[in-house]
């Protein structure tokens, strides 16, 4: 349930440093909620989004591909200090769609990020006008990765849950009630590729792209390409695929040098 200001209870009080860009506070989420008519339709249903949000997400909801680029952090390159994850998502024509930033500011959060492996991660996806589009929350888990995805109005769209597998990396993309919408599979011999499948047929592909030798070696800055097959028209699943792309980075590429994913990382060896 969202607060009156449009924030979900879990994100209340959290702010992002947008480096001079339009912040959520400059365009209150309540305006977008009023425009769209909060509480109508299924979570993530674009028919009940505000015009600004529908326009910003057009490339994700209707386009053939999306690119997610992680912003380079020189602190990681120069001294190996992990900073908050930041990304930009653009559509198939290279037009900007979303800023994506990890919540949690200050030295306390920075120390936890670098010294404490059992941390919870939350990412906020914001339009250029400051409207929240998605919230992605990853609690620390002992064995299997788990991510919860929330819509612009604070209601849960679904969750992503890793399944046990000896050879492949397998995740279920589920509704809040636990109904499996699709399955994400990472083939054993293609560690940079993840396939989204429905009833055994591929409907989308997530692929990590080469970011350059210096970036790959010295930082956690990663780029991902998401390709949607023409038959995938489910707007909710498309939003879940974007969340899955960010989950892939958090689970398999963010901490590849420090190995700070905890016991869960050990299981990835056997996937």
170 vs 1 pLDDT, higher one: 170
pLDDT band at 176; cut points 50, 70, 90: very high
- Note the pLDDT of residue 188: 87
Mean pLDDT value across residues 5-24 = 44
Q: Are 158 and 175 in contact (CB under 8 A)?
A: yes
pLDDT band at 171; cut points 50, 70, 90: very high
Global confidence as pTM: 0.74
Separation CA 109–CA 103 (nearest Å): 9
Structure token pair of residue 219: 């930082």
pLDDT band at 121; cut points 50, 70, 90: confident
- Note the pLDDT of residue 78: 52
Phi, psi values for residue 6, rounded to 5°: 90, 0
- Note the pLDDT of residue 6: 45
pLDDT band at 83; cut points 50, 70, 90: low
> For the segment 30-71, what is each residue's pLDDT rounded down to a tens digit?
444 434 444 568 898 998 899 999 999 999 999 999 999 988
122 vs 259 pLDDT, higher one: 122
Structure token pair of residue 196: 């989204």
- Note the pLDDT of residue 166: 86
- Of the candidates 142, 104, 133, 107, which has an alpha carbon nearest to the alpha carbon of residue 14? 104
> For the segment 134-145, what is each residue's pLDDT rounded down to a tens digit?
999 998 888 899
- Of the candidates 260, 254, 169, which has an alpha carbon nearest to the alpha carbon of residue 161? 169
> For the segment 196-208, what is each residue's pLDDT rounded down to a tens digit?
999 999 999 999 9
pLDDT band at 132; cut points 50, 70, 90: very high
Helices (H), 67-208: 74-79, 106-115
Provide the mean pLDDT of the chain.
77
- Note the pLDDT of residue 105: 57
> For the segment 211-266, what is each residue's pLDDT rounded down to a tens digit?
554 444 444 457 999 999 999 999 999 999 999 999 999 888 775 444 444 333 33
- Note the pLDDT of residue 150: 97
- Give 191-223 as a DSSP string: TTEEEEEETTEEEEEEEEEP--HHHHHH----E
Structure token pair of residue 108: 């306390």
């Amino acid at each position: 349930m969202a607060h009156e200001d449009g924030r979900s209870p879990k994100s209340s009080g959290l702010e992002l440093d947008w480096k001079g860009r339009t912040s959520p506070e400059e365009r209150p989420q309540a305006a977008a909620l009023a425009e769209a008519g909060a509480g109508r339709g299924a979570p993530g249903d674009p028919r009940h989004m505000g015009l600004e949000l529908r326009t910003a997400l057009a490339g994700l909801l209707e386009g053939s591909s999306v690119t997610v680029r992680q912003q380079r952090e020189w602190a990681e390159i120069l001294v190996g200090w992990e900073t908050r994850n930041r990304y930009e998502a653009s559509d198939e024509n290279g037009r900007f769609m979303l800023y994506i930033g990890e919540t949690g500011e200050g030295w306390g959060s920075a120390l936890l990020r670098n010294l404490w492996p059992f941390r919870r991660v939350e990412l906020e996806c914001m339009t250029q006008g400051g409207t929240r589009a998605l919230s992605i929350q990853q609690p620390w888990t002992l064995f299997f990765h788990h991510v919860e995805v929330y819509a612009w109005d604070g209601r849960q769209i679904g969750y992503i849950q890793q399944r046990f597998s000896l050879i492949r990396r397998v995740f279920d993309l589920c509704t809040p009630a636990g109904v499996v919408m699709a399955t994400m599979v990472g083939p054993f011999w293609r560690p940079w590729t993840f396939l989204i499948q429905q009833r055994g047929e591929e409907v989308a592909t997530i692929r990590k792209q080469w970011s350059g030798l210096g970036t790959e070696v010295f930082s956690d800055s990663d780029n991902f390409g998401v390709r949607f097959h023409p038959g995938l028209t489910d707007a909710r699943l498309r939003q879940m695929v974007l969340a899955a792309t960010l989950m892939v980075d958090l689970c398999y590429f963010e901490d590849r040098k420090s190995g700070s994913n905890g016991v869960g990382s050990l299981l990835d060896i056997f996937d």
